[in-house]
Copies of this chain bind each other. A is one copy, B any other.
Amino acid sequence: MDQAKIRPIPEPSLRRLPAYLFYLRRMLAGGRDVISCPHIARDLHLDPTLVRKDLEATGMIGKPKVGYPIPQLVGTIEEFLGLHNTRDAFLVGAGHLGAALIGYEGFREIGLNVVAAFDADPAKVGGQLRGISVLPMDKLIELAQRMAVHIGIVTVPAAAAQSVADAMVTGGIRAIWNFAPTHLRVPESVVLEEVQLSSSLAVLSSRLNKMLAPE
């Protein structure tokens, strides 16, 4: 059990947690108060043992024959994902993608709070992006330090992404969420999560190819 705590959660498990969370919140809203792994597995089309392992990794324990109490389960997953902590973020690149992310409904559910946007384009600076002020790039480092913001979102073109990331690191940002179609380099001490849409499209395109190919 001590060893279980030492071993980190597998990344695939981590990626499944939001799906559990959203599902469990719906169940809770529907008036349910306990649920079993086989039940979750049926609804989400997963293997029951896989679900059990995933829940186990969050530290949750259940009752044989009964299942897991949903309110505690929701709380445990939220806690595990760090949703109970402040999740203030800076967004750099006040274009459509930035606007889309700020308005993304999945965000509210997982509790990310964009407190300011930045852009290199003087025409955008001073304006608003979905109610968020757009500030000039040269304020980024100082403001990040002053406001102790820990998350930076990169939605600039590929060519500008690395210098934006460098500024974020200098400003003390500890986690960078990169949407630019390029791979960034950050120090070991900074968390980097990259959303490479090209990779996703490659999977789609290649599989479609195979599907349409005459055997």
Among listed A12-20, A60-68, A119-127, A131-139, interface-contacting one:
A12-20
A205 at the interface (CB under 8 A from B): yes
Query: CB distance A208 to B16 under 8 Å?
Result: no
Question: How many monomers of this chain does the complex have?
Answer: 2
Query: CB distance A205 to B15 under 8 Å?
Result: no
Which residue of chain B has the shortest Cβ distance to A183 in the bound complex? B19
Chain A, 1-33, contact with B by CB distance < 8 Å: what is the 0/1 string? 000000011010011111100100000000000
Task: For A107, list chain B residues within 8 Å (CB).
Answer: 197, 201
CA distance A151 to B99 in the complex (A): 25
CA distance A109 to B181 in the complex (A): 10
Among listed A34-42, A162-170, A187-195, interface-contacting one:
A187-195
CB within 8 Å of B: which A157-215 residues:
157-158, 174-175, 177, 181-183, 189, 191, 193, 195-212
Task: For A8, list chain B residues within 8 Å (CB).
Answer: 210
A143 at the interface (CB under 8 A from B): no
A146 at the interface (CB under 8 A from B): no
CA distance A109 to B201 in the complex (A): 11
- In order of increasing CB-CB distance, the 7 nearest A-B pairs are A106-B181, A82-B209, A97-B100, A96-B100, A18-B198, A15-B199, A175-B208
Query: CB distance B177 to A191 under 8 Å?
Result: no
Query: CB distance A14 to B103 under 8 Å?
Result: no
Query: CB distance B196 to A195 under 8 Å?
Result: no
A110 at the interface (CB under 8 A from B): yes
Query: CB distance B82 to A208 under 8 Å?
Result: yes
Query: CB distance B105 to A174 under 8 Å?
Result: no
A50 at the interface (CB under 8 A from B): no
Known: A15-B196, A18-B196, A208-B150. A183 touches B112 (CB 8 A): no
